């Protein structure tokens, strides 16, 4: 096996890379800062630090949007610079294993790497829910039904797996950022108080509960929309719960819909094995309890939910039994 192998999970919030030679997972915010629509000034965590603070001639954004590529050129530049600076490994002739989200055309991610200046040997694709299952420690090749709920930054992917493939799946455009937006909107409506998306994210991390919120508060800084001046405001966990429960309900309803459509024999397996919860937004407190209460099925959360997929890609790369889960598109042509 070529040591120059990379596993890539292109999330809307984070870019995660597994490097076989170093046997390590790398992660940066999936964000780029572009000046005058031409020059990339920064990428990753450095670009994220500029978000909501940059002047008008510097655009800070993610090359990914709702599971799709918003800018293939920015993503190519970011990926190459990130790999060159982080791994110091050989990029030319490397093999790439890319997590493919549900409803994403295969050729998009293949083209992203194949048509870049990195000159890969081969670009393999692995269905993202399958990679997530492997990252959770599940043998997804067995004849058993496995339900994976992956709550990402902008989408939630709900999939039933069996025999190494996807039996049924659904992708909804609800995730961590829609929860952040709900917090921003509630604070604006209730308090005439404007906050940025980073502040909303901080509130989510500190105070968000999916069920039975505790008595906790935090002070935030924003702009009083009545007087137009910066001020401090105290927000409670119960207020945040009321703000986000509708968004969480959308996720729960989507899970219930998948369960209703699951073939009976696989449904029996899911009842026995439980639901597996992953993705960065799975860190919302008591999200597992909410899903368990509404579905009646035990829920297991990955302790590192944002890394489930990239850890699964590492297993495809390193474990011969799972190499058959990777595939290439018919359009690929290599010299």
Query: pLDDT at position 14, please?
Result: 96
In sequence order, what are the beta bridge partners of 214?
A: none
Structure confidence by residue, pLDDT tens digits, 64-74: 988 788 899 99
Contacts of residue 293, defined as CB under 8 A and 6 or more positions apart, other chains included, come to: 211
Domain ranges of the chain: 5-132+308-325, 137-301
The answer to whether the beta carbons of residues 28 and 13 sit under 8 Å apart is no
Three-class secondary structure of residue 41 per DSSP: strand
Class of domain 137-301: alpha beta
Point out the least confidently predicted range of 43-52, 88-97, 242-251, 311-320. Answer: 88-97
- Just give the CATH number of 5-132+308-325: 3.30.420.40
Structure confidence by residue, pLDDT tens digits, 207-264: 999 999 999 999 999 999 999 999 999 999 999 999 999 999 999 999 999 999 999 9
Structure confidence by residue, pLDDT tens digits, 137-168: 999 999 999 999 999 999 999 999 999 999 99
| Distance from C-alpha of 176 to C-alpha of 77, rounded to nearest angstrom | 26
- Residue that has been written with the tokens 């549900």 in this structure: 102
The conformational region for residue 26 under phi > 0 = left, psi -120 to 50 = alpha, else beta, is beta
| Distance from C-alpha of 174 to C-alpha of 250, rounded to nearest angstrom | 7
Query: pLDDT at position 135, please?
Result: 98
- Summary mean pLDDT of the chain: 94
Mean predicted confidence (pLDDT) in 85-103: 87
| Distance from C-alpha of 281 to C-alpha of 297, rounded to nearest angstrom | 20
Structural tokens at position 184 = 């921003």
pTM equals 0.94
Q: Do domains 5-132+308-325 and 137-301 have the same CATH topology?
A: yes
């Amino acid at each position: 096996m070529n040591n120059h192998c990379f596993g890539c999970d292109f999330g809307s919030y984070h870019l995660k890379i597994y490097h076989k030679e170093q046997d390590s997972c790398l992660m940066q915010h999936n964000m780029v800062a572009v000046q005058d629509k031409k020059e990339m000034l920064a990428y990753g965590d450095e670009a994220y630090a500029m978000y909501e603070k940059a002047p008008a001639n510097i655009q800070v954004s993610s090359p990914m949007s709702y599971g799709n590529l918003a800018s293939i050129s920015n993503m190519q530049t970011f990926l190459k610079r990130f790999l060159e600076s982080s791994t110091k490994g050989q990029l030319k002739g490397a093999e790439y294993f890319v997590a493919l989200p549900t409803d994403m055309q295969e050729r998009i991610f293949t083209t992203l790497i194949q048509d870049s200046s990195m000159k890969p040997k081969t670009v393999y694709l692995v269905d993202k829910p399958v990679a997530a299952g492997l990252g959770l420690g599940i043998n997804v090749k067995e004849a058993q039904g496995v339900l994976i709920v992956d709550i990402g930054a902008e989408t939630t992917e709900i999939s039933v797996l069996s025999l190494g493939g996807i039996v049924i799946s659904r992708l909804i455009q609800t995730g961590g950022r829609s929860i952040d937006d709900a917090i921003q909107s509630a604070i604006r409506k209730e308090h005439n108080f404007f906050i940025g998306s980073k502040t909303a994210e901080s509130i989510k991390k500190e105070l968000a509960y999916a069920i039975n919120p505790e008595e906790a508060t935090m002070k935030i800084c924003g702009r009083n929309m009545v007087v137009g001046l910066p001020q401090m405001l105290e927000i409670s966990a119960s207020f945040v719960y009321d703000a986000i429960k509708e968004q969480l309900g959308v996720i729960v309803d989507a899970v219930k819909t998948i369960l209703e459509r699951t073939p009976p024999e696989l449904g029996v397996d899911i009842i026995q094995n439980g639901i597996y919860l992953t993705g960065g937004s799975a860190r919302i407190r008591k999200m597992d309890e909410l899903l368990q209460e509404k579905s009646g099925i035990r829920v297991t959360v990955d302790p590192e939910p944002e890394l489930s997929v990239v850890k699964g890609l590492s297993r495809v790369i390193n474990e011969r039994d799972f190499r058959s889960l990777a595939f290439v598109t018919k359009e690929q042509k290599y010299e």
